[in-house]
Amino acid sequence: MTIETDQDDLATKRGEVTVIVYAPRTPESQTFTFQRNERVGDAARTAAAAFGYEGGNPSFATEKNVVLDRTKSLEAEHVHDHQSLNLVDVGGGV
Taken in order of first residue, the domains within the chain and their CATH numbers are 3-89 (3.10.20.90)
Q: Which residue has the higher pLDDT, 36 or 91?
A: 36
pLDDT number for residue 1: 36
Residue at 72: amino acid letter: K
Q: What is the pTM of this model?
A: 0.82
Question: Whose CA is closest to 30, among 46, 7, 54, 42?
Answer: 46
> For 36-74, what is each residue's pLDDT tens digit?
999 999 999 999 999 999 989 999 999 999 999 999 999
Residue at 74: amino acid letter: L
Distance from C-alpha of 29 to C-alpha of 51, rounded to nearest angstrom: 9
pLDDT number for residue 91: 79
Determine the length of the chain. Answer: 94
Distance from C-alpha of 60 to C-alpha of 50, rounded to nearest angstrom: 14
Is residue 11 scored above 90 in pLDDT? no
Strand partners, 19: 32, 83
